[in-house]
A = this chain, B = another copy of it.
């Protein structure tokens, strides 16, 4: 398959989320404009994305939801699934563990890591918390490929180096400190303040233009 646009990959994940929801409600088929409505985009965008992954719906019935879900799975997921570690079992880390665990069959939260004695060796939302010193050992043992960083900001760079050294292949960084990783490690960073400030900016703009 030819290279999928980044934005298409993102949207496929979003489509699957709502498609799974439809399935849960007993819905079997869906039209491009229905998907579009669920995601604030145009039906053409939806059809184009679906075209790019080589799926074909049926005229008048639309897309078979289960087939589409399966195909998106083939694109995003690996057969065996990937194991994920949460680094820093604080407020956000714990919230994430409970949110993510069990949500996707091919993403397993395999371990948490912390430095605080009170947290180490406890279980949070079904996930074992290890001491950060055991990172490399557990990453290897559990075949963890992805890490989510939710430690204090000033630990971020150090943690990211440990993760790279341990052989992690992808990092999702929720701390406000940007990090640098080698090319073979995929990095995604997100800061909630930026989302909030984006909202603030457009609210301000709208009030001015009205």
User: Footprint of B on A, CB under 8 Å?
Assistant: 9-10, 13-14, 17-18, 21, 37-40, 75-78, 82, 84, 90-92, 94-96, 98-100, 103-104, 106-107, 145-146, 148, 169-172, 176-178, 180, 184, 186-204, 206-207, 210
From B14, B21, B91, B170, contact of A203 by CB (8 A): B170
* Contacting pair B96 A94 (CB below 8 A): no
Q: Is the interface of A mostly helix, strand, loop or mixed?
A: helix
Contact indicator A206/B194 (Cβ below 8 Å): no
Instruction: Check A207–B169 contact: CB distance below 8 A.
Output: yes
Instruction: Output the nearest chain B residue to A78 by Cβ-Cβ distance.
Output: B204
Chain B residue at smallest Cβ distance from A153: B21
Contact pick for A178, options B39, B176, B187, B191, CB 8 Å: B39
Q: Which residues of B contact A207 (CB under 8 A)?
A: 169
Q: Which one of A18, A188, A198 has the highest number of Cβ atoms from chain B below 10 Å of its Cβ?
A: A198
Q: Are B84 and A196 closer than 8 Å at their CB atoms?
A: yes
Within the assembled complex, what's the spacing in Å between the Cα atoms of A210 and B185? 12
Contact A171 B194 (CB under 8 A): no
Q: A92-B95, A195-B172 are in contact. Are A76 and B186 (CB under 8 A)?
A: no
A186 to B193, CA, bound (A): 16
B196 touches A148 (CB 8 A): yes
Q: CB distance B76 to A192 under 8 Å? A: no
Whether the Cβ atoms of B17 and A191 lie closer than 8 Å is: yes
**With A77-B200, A199-B171 known to touch, is A91 a contact of B95 (CB < 8 Å)?**
yes
Asked if A203 and B95 sit within 8 Å, CB to CB, the answer is no
Name the one of B99, B169, B187, B190 contacting A40, with C-beta atoms under 8 angstroms.
Answer: B187
